[in-house]
Amino acid sequence: MRKRNESVTVEHERAAAAAVPAPLDKGCSLRHSLRLPAADAGMKRPLGRRYGFWFRLRRLIIWLLGVYIAIPFLVKLCPAIQAKLVFLNFVRVPYFIDLKRPQDQGLNHTCNYYLQPEEDVTIGVWHTVPAALWKNARGKDQLWFEDALGSSHPVILYLHGNAGTRGGDHRVELYKVLSSLGYHVVTFDYRGWGDSVGSPSERGMTYDALHVFDWIKARSGDNPVYIWGHSLGTGVATNLVRRLCERETPPEALILESPFTNIREEARSHPFSVASILCFSQQQRVMLPATNASFSFQIYRYFPGFDWFFLDPITTSGIKFANDENVKYISCSLLILHAEDDPVVPFHLGKKLYNIAATSRSFRDYKVQFVPFHTDLGYRHKYIYRSPELPRILR
């Protein structure tokens, strides 16, 4: 009886043990349960990343579109922005130079002056004497340099373009070339440029140039005086020479380097155009080291009302620089220099200006010459001074 009970008990325990899941099954079951959530999370995470990326991209596109649409209205409502972009007078390149010390730029035969065209306006002037007077000029004061203008050497009044100062690298190199050719070179920063005091405007720039020209003529006697304008400075140059011809005191000749027809055509044709707000905020090189450059809006070229939004504010600000109109009233010899690969002022604008001048009755008794520089030379917008042909051309 006891054996039978014991056998029943053993069978009962075996049956109970069989009813309990095996440890292996339990382990597998646990592992399976652990894997499933991990797999689900892995599927959700890439979806979340993709969703976040497209959301941010869409938000960026909407923001850029908003800025793109807002800029034309901003420019239209604030014409002063366009004036800033035309002049770029707040771009001082190269930085950290002392304009009172032209010798730091390798101009040991140059003197720094300050003239006052109007009340509350002071302009900084550099006068570089011909290389033949270099030794005599060392250590001399302003009075000696002023008297030197009466020596038997021609004088060039150089009117620089927008951005930078009279100490710009390519400008300094041109002074050296002209000095080596036997010219006095007088240049200055318009009011609002460099260390000159005042607010820039087309009228003010022209008046500054007129003041410096009269200052030169009062000291140079019968020596010939030539006007040389570069880029935006060609607009100042034709304004100046037109006034001089109207009062019957024309210069010996007018030299225009990389000229345009008028500021509206230059703004419309500018091949480096980017949104004005970008040029306004970062400034190039100005071309921006220039330069520049930098005041037209090719990405808006087909924007509805392009002229109304972008070009009209320029003239509203009193900025015209109408070279094409001015040459019709100029009566002196004219030389135009332009590089075919000019990336700032398109070559065809210089050629167009020449065609206007060549057919103008005001030049019927004077020589008008256009000198192109082939693309292979690489003179672009501001390196024509490198041409070995320049001495021959000027002669």
pLDDT tens per residue across span 260-284: 999 988 877 765 443 333 333 333 3
Whole-number Cα distances in Å, 377 to 169, 309, 374: 19, 38, 6
Output the pLDDT for position 266.
86
pLDDT at 315 over 50: yes
pLDDT at 134 over 80: yes
Phi and psi angles of residue 196, each rounded to the nearest 5 degrees, phi first: -80, 145
What tokens appear for 38 in the block? 């991990």
| Active-site entry in 231, 276, 317, 331 | 231
Q: How confident is the model at residue 60 (pLDDT cuts 50, 70, 90)?
A: confident
What tokens appear for 172 in the block? 């300094």
Exposure string for 23-47, b = 16+ CB within 10 A, e = fewer: eeeeeeeeeeeeeeeeeeeeeeeee
pLDDT at 12 over 50: yes
Output the pLDDT for position 9.
56
What span, in angstroms and rounded, lies between the C-alpha atoms of 260 and 327? Answer: 12
Whether 147 sits among the annotated catalytic residues: the reply is no
Tens-digit pLDDT profile for residues 343-374: 999 999 999 999 999 999 999 999 999 999 99
Residue at token pair 């200055």: 188
Length of the chain (residues): 395
C-beta of residue 184 within 8 angstroms of C-beta of residue 156: yes
Whether 231 sits among the annotated catalytic residues: the reply is yes
Compute the CA torsion angle 79, 83, 88, 90 (nearest 10 deg).
Answer: -70
pLDDT at 13 over 70: no
pLDDT at 237 over 50: yes
Q: How confident is the model at residue 287 (pLDDT cuts 50, 70, 90)?
A: very low
pLDDT at 31 over 70: no
Output the pLDDT for position 390.
95
What span, in angstroms and rounded, lies between the C-alpha atoms of 236 and 161? Answer: 9
What tokens appear for 152 in the block? 């038997």
Closest CA to 113 of 186, 13, 20: 186
Output the pLDDT for position 239.
98
Rounded to the nearest integer, the mean pLDDT of the chain is 82
| Active-site entry in 258, 294, 342, 360 | 342
C-beta of residue 227 within 8 angstroms of C-beta of residue 186: no
Q: Which residue has the higher pLDDT, 96 or 342?
A: 342
Output the pLDDT for position 48.
66
pLDDT at 23 over 80: no
Mean pLDDT of 118-126: 96
Whether 160 sits among the annotated catalytic residues: the reply is no
Mean pLDDT of 325-336: 97
CATH number for the domain whose boundaries are 85-394: 3.40.50.1820
What span, in angstroms and rounded, lies between the C-alpha atoms of 192 and 196? Answer: 6
What span, in angstroms and rounded, lies between the C-alpha atoms of 243 and 326? Answer: 9
Tens-digit pLDDT profile for residues 157-186: 999 999 999 999 999 999 999 999 999 999
171-179, long-range: CB < 8 A, 24+ apart: 172/105, 172/106, 172/107, 173/385, 173/386, 174/385, 175/107, 175/110, 175/126, 175/128, 176/106, 176/107, 176/128, 177/385, 177/390, 178/128, 179/109, 179/128, 179/129, 179/130, 179/131
What span, in angstroms and rounded, lies between the C-alpha atoms of 91 and 295? Answer: 13
pLDDT at 245 over 70: yes
